Amino acid sequence: MSSHMFKTVVNIPIETVWKFLHSIEEWPGVIPGYISHEILSDQISTWQIKSDFGLIKKKLHFKAEIIEWKKYEKITFRITGISDKFHGHGRVETIKLSNHKTSILANFHITAEGSIAKLIKPFLKSSLPEMSKEKKYELEQQIKKIAGGK
């Protein structure tokens, strides 16, 4: 299993952060390797991303299921591979630090099985921390866009 966590503080009210988090249509801008997604219901969507495993590039297709929406507190989710044998879970938590400042904490765990595991495990171990750092800035920009550039 590969796990990762990242935390950021944004100078944006928690209500605006949740406007972003609650709208799955806003998420593609912060998903590494995003290709496409389809929303099947309020809780279930499918996603396609491209992953770079060094010399091997692979398209991954997975289902994401929201397990819990606890407004202004947390979202918990589960993912299941459609194209390959992998699964995972995670959550995003928010804390109101002030009227205009919010802490965002995201953590996730991914387990790969079968032949894909030999490719995915080294990639996840080295790439998840980088994806988190890279996406931290993009996440802040996406939320600010919803806030009207504030």
Please state, as a whole number, how many other Cβ atoms lie within 10 Å of the Cβ of residue 51. Answer: 16
What pLDDT score does 149 carry?
A: 55
Do 86 and 112 meet the contact criterion of CB atoms below 8 Å apart?
yes
CA–CA separation, 14 vs 84, rounded Å? 36
DSSP character at residue 114? T
143 band by pLDDT with thresholds 50, 70 and 90: confident
Q: Domains in the chain and their CATH numbers?
A: 2-31+67-146 (3.30.530.20)
Alpha helix stretches (DSSP H) within the chain: 14-22, 115-146
DSSP character at residue 76? E
Provide the whole-model pTM. 0.80
Q: Tens digit of pLDDT for each residue in 62-107?
A: 999 999 999 999 999 999 999 888 899 999 999 999 999 999 998 8
Q: Tens digit of pLDDT for each residue in 15-38?
A: 999 988 888 888 887 777 789 999
